[in-house]
A and B are shown apart, each in its own frame.
Chain A
Amino acid sequence: MEALPQIQEQFLIILQNPWLWVTCLSGVTLGILWGAMPGLSTTMAMTLLIGLTVGMSQSAAIMFMLGVYTGCVFGGAISAVLVNIPGTPDAVPTMIEGYALARRGDGGLALGTAISASFLGNWVGILLLIALIPAVLFLALQFRSWEMFLLSLWGIAICGSMSSMDMPIKGWISGWIGLLISFVGLDAIHGVSRFTLDSFYLSDGIGFIPVLIGLFGISEILRVLPQKSPPKIPSNVGRVLPSLQAFKKYMAPSFRSGIIGTIIGAIPGAGANVASFFAYDVGRRRASKEEKKKWGKGSYEAIVCAEVANNANVGGSMLPTLALGIPGNAAAAAILAALQLKNVVVGPLIQIENPGLIYFIYIGLIIANFFMYGMAIALIKPCVKLFSLPKTLLMPLILPICILGSFAVNLSFFDVYVMLIAGLLGYVLHQLGFPLAPLVLAVILGPLADENLRRALLVFEDSGFFNVLWDRKLGTILLLIVIYTFYDGIFRRGKPQEIIND
């Protein structure tokens, strides 16, 4: 309850500054348009649009990025329903159900259901974020160097497992490559040059924003543009919004999927795609016999499950991002990057170093959610027009944005070269079947893991390495969790495919 006056105060700050509303609305609009474009992910949108926040104030930048995040997560559903191509990976379940409905002439209603479910999902995520963050913050203060190292390691490990379900080892390899990239530069404790090849530019390390843009932007262009399969667009959308009566019966699955989405979002590395698939699967198992028959052939309840979960994931992913400084997923890592650009250090001390910021973000998410609902309805028809454009036209137009985005952060052309190399590396890794998300997370978490491991070992140097395990009980629990993650990843190989086929 003590949070209420602070929430009220932050709300008044936002209310009295129309520029913040404008930036949030711009972010939501750009996010929806971006997310709606086939193949352009939330992470790519957020990393490319970070550049736009360079000239903004701290508050405006946060509102803009929250708008982009919220808008983009929903936007993926538009092309999924209308074109049978998910704008973002988490929209795949929506695509399966929505496109089946669209083919029957109910595309508009399917899209409207997705919009309403996204709105509801965001609310569930925000409310759980407000309710749980004090507890997470309390727990976060117990984290010291050893625990932070293990947490970073766990984030990378679980991201590897989740993003490469059938062969977790490939996800881990990708994460480990990201760790190696993060080690380049002067080390934080002794100032020794590591893997810099005597280059002045590399001494400062490799920035993760150009790496992100290269991996998600350039590699995607290289992969998609030379293909010869432009998607076809249905011209009729039909009715858009579902009736309240129709939506009422989905309240129970909505709440369940919202909780699933938030919890998965709070786990470092587990993104909205995991949340939507998991909620979709749980929803199918819990559905009535009659509804279960519709599953996979055009079920509104299935759309609700997937969309509520992936939007609740937004609030969930902000939990570890704000409380621990560990991004819940790659998109939340972009929020983290935007905050760092504004000299905001998130983590256990956020309430001490930036009092009120958490509450500002709560209100920002709520406002972004309202804008998302309004803009989503308004943008449906223009989006249909936009999708009449072939990918061969859209993809080349992303190139200048990639160059600008990577340059704008440090005003250094070296970052553009890094983006280019990251793009080529991303393409090769993708061709070899390695997921890119763990690599991105590892580039961000690598310095944290390295510095904290050595600091922990320095503190416990006199006691000996094994005493660290016994002295830090929370650390030992985390170590067991890390070991279990690797064990689970190795021994559950192949099971997810069986579930999907079932």
Chain B
Amino acid sequence: MKTQKNMSVEETTPSGSAKCPEEMISPGKNLLGAALVGLLAMLTMFFSLRLSVPGSLYTAPGLLPFIVGATLLLMAFILAVQAIQAGALSNLGKVSISSSILHWSEEAQRRLLLAVLIVAYVLLVAFVNIDFRIPFIPFNYQISSYEVISVIMVTYILKIFWKGSLVQCLLITTVLVESLTIIFRYGFGILMPETF
């Protein structure tokens, strides 16, 4: 019961501040994390050494990055040792096959779809240029690519994940996006993302 409560808390608390309960992180994941961090550390050290040194070594631009890279490598090594001691090597195959493919398949697919949609949303806002002006006294009401694409994409995401009717999704998204735009553009005088 206690474990269930802890897990539900973890699932809902913001990732940035709440710690992730260690029972949810397998030693295999720790080993994978250590390997990735170790690689990053070595790359950092390599590129730090390639930076030019205009003054003395004490003021070298690569000094702190190199120290950080070296200590990061040490930390990755310690994490890897702890993970191996906790049985990472013996559980690695089991975790990757049973958990990743079979147990998480549906949620993982939904997550992948969501990630693709978010990336597409950002790229569309960046590259599609729409600019309608509706004359209102005393100003022109502007409808730009940010609003149009936001309404389309968020409506689509809502339709998939919320499963409300299309009209409901469209209405909610339109009200939110237009409210945001009005507050930012006309309330605080901030340009919208599509402007540049």
Which of A219, A393, A412, A454 makes the CB contact (< 8 A) with B164? A393
A-side contacts of B63, CB under 8 Å: 453-454, 457
Judge if A301 is at the interface, Cβ distance under 8 Å: no
Chain A residues with Cβ below 8 Å from B37 are 173, 177
Cβ of A170 under 8 Å from chain B: yes
A443 to B111, CA, bound (A): 27
B138 within 8 A of A: no
Which residue of chain A is the closest to B158 with respect to CB atoms? A396
Interface centre among A92, A163, A189, A403 (most CB of B within 10 A): A403
- How long is the Cα–Cα vector from A219 to B30 in the complex, in angstroms? 19
A163 and B11 contact, Cβ closer than 8 Å, known pairs A404-B193, A432-B32: no
Given A194-B61, A393-B172, answer yes or no on A180-B40 (Cβ-Cβ < 8 Å).
yes
A227 touching B11 by the CB < 8 A rule?
yes
A411 and B59: CB pair below 8 A? no
Q: Does A300 contact B (CB under 8 A)?
A: no
Whether B180 is near chain A, meaning CB under 8 Å from some CB there, is yes
Q: Mark B59-74, 1 if CB is under 8 A from A, else 0.
A: 1111111001101100
Q: Whole-angstrom distance between the alpha carbons of A401 and B173 in the complex?
A: 12
CB distance from A127 to the nearest CB of B (A): 26
Q: Which residue of B lies closest to A271 (CB)?
A: B17
Task: Give Cα distance in the complex from A330 to B177, angstroms.
Answer: 28
Please determine whether A192 and B75 come into contact, CB atoms closer than 8 angstroms.
no
Within 8 A of A (CB), among B35-67: 36-37, 40, 44, 47, 51-52, 54-56, 58-65
The residue of chain A having its C-beta at the shortest distance from the C-beta of B195 within the complex is A411
**Do A164 and B19 form a contact, CB below 8 Å, given A216-B14, A400-B180, A404-B180?**
yes
Asked if residues A408 and B190 are in contact (CB atoms below 8 Å), the reply is yes
Q: Are B122 and A229 in contact (CB under 8 A)?
A: no
In the complex, the chain B residue whose C-beta lies closest to that of A465 is: B58
**What separation, in Å, do the CA atoms of A163 and B13 have in the docked complex?**
13
Interface contact A170-B12, CB-CB below 8 Å: no
The residue of chain B having its C-beta at the shortest distance from the C-beta of A186 within the complex is B61
- Judge if B196 is at the interface, Cβ distance under 8 Å: yes
Chain A residues with CB below 8 A from B115, complex form: 222, 424
CA–CA, A407 and B194, complex, Å:
10
Q: How far is the CB of B156 from chain A (nearest CB, A)?
A: 9
Across the interface, do A226 and B16 meet the contact criterion of CB distance under 8 Å? Answer: no
Contact B118 A420 (CB under 8 A): yes
Q: Which of A44-101 contact B (CB under 8 A)?
A: 44, 51-52, 54-56, 84-86, 88-90, 92, 95-96
Given A396-B157, A404-B184, also A166-B61 (CB < 8 A)? no
The reply to whether the CB of B94 lies closer than 8 angstroms to some CB of chain A is no
Task: Tell me whether A390 is interfacial, beta carbon within 8 Å.
Answer: yes
Task: Assess whether A469 is interfacial by the CB under 8 Å rule.
Answer: no
* B98 interfacial by beta-carbon distance below 8 Å: no
- With both chains docked as a complex, state the minimum distance between the C-beta of A349 and any C-beta of chain B, in angstroms: 24
Q: How far is the CB of B41 from chain A (nearest CB, A)?
A: 8
Question: How many contacts A-B (CB < 8 Å)?
Answer: 264
Residues of A within 8 A of B54 (CB): 190, 192
B171 at the interface (CB under 8 A from A): no
| Contact pick for B72, options A41, A176, A392, CB 8 Å | A176
Rounded to whole Å, the gap between the CB of A139 and the closest CB of chain B is: 25
Within 8 A of B (CB), among A483-502: 497
Within 8 A of A (CB), among B167-187: 172-173, 176-177, 180, 183-184, 187
Q: Is the CB of B150 within 8 A of A223?
A: no
Shortest A331–chain B CB gap in Å is 9
Q: Are B154 and A396 in contact (CB under 8 A)?
A: yes
Interface 9-mer from A235-243, A357-365, A434-442, A473-481: A434-442
Interface residue? B25 (CB, 8 A): yes
A403 near B17 with CB under 8 A, answer no
A197 to chain B, nearest CB (A): 10
Contact partner of A89 (CB less than 8 A), chosen from B14, B24, B56, B68, is: B14
When distances are taken between beta carbons in the complex, the residues of chain A under 8 Å from B193 are 403-404, 407, 413, 416
Q: Which of B15, B61, B164, B187 contacts A192 (CB 8 A)?
A: B61
Q: Is the CB of B18 within 8 A of A273?
A: yes
Task: Report the separation of the CA atoms of residues A72 and B18 in the bound assembly, to the nearest whole angstrom.
Answer: 16
A13 lies within 8 A of chain B by Cβ: no
Cβ of A227 to closest chain B Cβ, rounded Å = 7
> A167 at the A/B interface (Cβ < 8 Å)?
yes
Q: Is the CB of B177 within 8 A of A400?
A: yes
Given known contacts A55-B189, A192-B61, A397-B173, A220 and B14 CB-to-CB distance under 8 angstroms: yes
A434 to B107 CA separation, bound complex (whole angstroms): 21
Q: Contact: B64 with A54, CB < 8 Å? A: no
Taking the nearest CB of chain B, how far is it from the CB of A208, in angstroms?
13
List 30 contacting pairs A-B, 8 Å CB cutoff, sorted by A.
A41-B17, A84-B8, A92-B9, A95-B9, A96-B5, A166-B22, A169-B82, A170-B79, A173-B33, A177-B37, A177-B40, A180-B65, A189-B55, A195-B65, A215-B15, A226-B111, A226-B114, A227-B11, A227-B107, A390-B162, A396-B157, A396-B161, A396-B162, A399-B153, A403-B150, A423-B118, A433-B20, A435-B20, A436-B15, A436-B17
B residues with CB within 8 A of A: 5, 8-9, 11-20, 22, 24-25, 29-30, 32-33, 36-37, 40, 44, 47, 51-52, 54-56, 58-65, 68-69, 71-72, 75-76, 78-79, 82, 107-108, 110-111, 114-115, 118-119, 121-122, 125-126, 146, 150, 153-154, 157-158, 161-164, 172-173, 176-177, 180, 183-184, 187-193, 195-196
By Cβ-Cβ distance, the 7 closest A-B pairs, closest first, are A433-B25, A55-B188, A41-B14, A226-B110, A457-B58, A436-B16, A432-B33
A contact set with B: CB distance below 8 Å: 38-41, 43-44, 51-52, 54-56, 84-86, 88-90, 92, 95-96, 163-167, 169-170, 172-173, 176-177, 179-180, 183, 187, 189-190, 192, 194-195, 215-216, 218-229, 231, 271, 273, 330, 390, 392-393, 395-397, 399-401, 403-404, 407-408, 411-413, 416-417, 420, 423-424, 426, 430-437, 440, 449-450, 453-454, 457-458, 461, 465, 497
